[in-house]
Chains A and B, each alone.
Chain A
Amino acid sequence: MNPINSAQLSSPPPLLNPAMGPNQSSDTSFKDMLFDSIKQVNTMQLDADQAVEQMFTGGDVNPAEVLTAVQKADLAFRLTMQMRNKLMEVYQEVRDIRI
Chain B
Amino acid sequence: MLTSFDISTSALVAQRTRLNAISSNIANMSTTRNERGEAEPYTPRYVTFQTDTGITSSGGGAGVRVGSVDYSSEPPKMKYEPGHPDADAQGYVQYPNVDMTTEFVDALEASRSYEANVGIIEVSKNLVENTLRIIA
- B89, CB-defined interface residue at 8 Å: no
Whether A68 sits at the interface, judged by CB under 8 Å, is yes
| 0 or 1 for each of A49-82: is its CB under 8 Å from B? (1 = yes) | 0000000000000101100100110011011001
**Interface 1/0s, chain B 1-16, versus A by CB < 8 A?**
0100110110011001
Any B CB within 8 A of the CB of A4: yes
- Of the listed stretches B39-47, B70-78, B95-103, B128-136, chain A binds B128-136
A contact residues around B135 at 8 Å (CB): 82-83, 86
CA distance A56 to B60 in the complex (A): 35
Given contacts A75-B128, A82-B136, A86-B135, contact A65 B13 (CB under 8 A): yes
**Contact flag A64-B2 (CB < 8 Å), given A10-B58, A82-B136:** no
Once the chains bind, are B60 and A4 in contact (CB under 8 Å)?
A: yes
Q: Of B5, B13, B16, B129, which contacts A72 at CB under 8 A?
A: B5
> Is A8 an interface residue when CB atoms closer than 8 A count as contact?
yes
- Grouping DSSP codes into helix (H, G, I), strand (E, B) and loop, the A interface class, with mixed when no group exceeds half, is helix
Tell me whether B136 and A64 are in contact (CB under 8 A).
no
Supposing A62-B13, A64-B13, A68-B9 touch, asked if A76 and B132 sit within 8 A by C-beta, the answer is: no
Least distance between B54 CB and chain A CB atoms (Å)? 14
Q: When the two chains form their complex, are residues A82 and B60 in contact, meaning their CB atoms are under 8 A apart?
A: no
Indicate whether B87 reaches chain A with its CB closer than 8 angstroms: no
User: Which of B6, B129, B136 has a CB less than 8 Å from the CB of A68?
Assistant: B6
Contact call A62/B16, Cβ cutoff below 8 A: yes
* Contact-size category for A: 20 to 34
Residues in B with CB closer than 8 Å to A82 are 132, 135-136
Closest to A78 in B: B132
Q: Is the CB of B60 within 8 A of A8?
A: yes
13 contacts between A and B (CB under 8 A): A8-B60, A10-B58, A64-B9, A64-B12, A64-B13, A65-B13, A68-B5, A68-B9, A75-B129, A79-B128, A82-B132, A82-B136, A83-B135
Q: Which residues of B contact A (CB under 8 A)?
A: 2, 5-6, 8-9, 12-13, 16, 56, 58-60, 121, 125, 128-129, 132, 135-136
Q: Which 3 A-B pairs have the closest CB atoms?
A: A64-B12, A8-B60, A68-B9
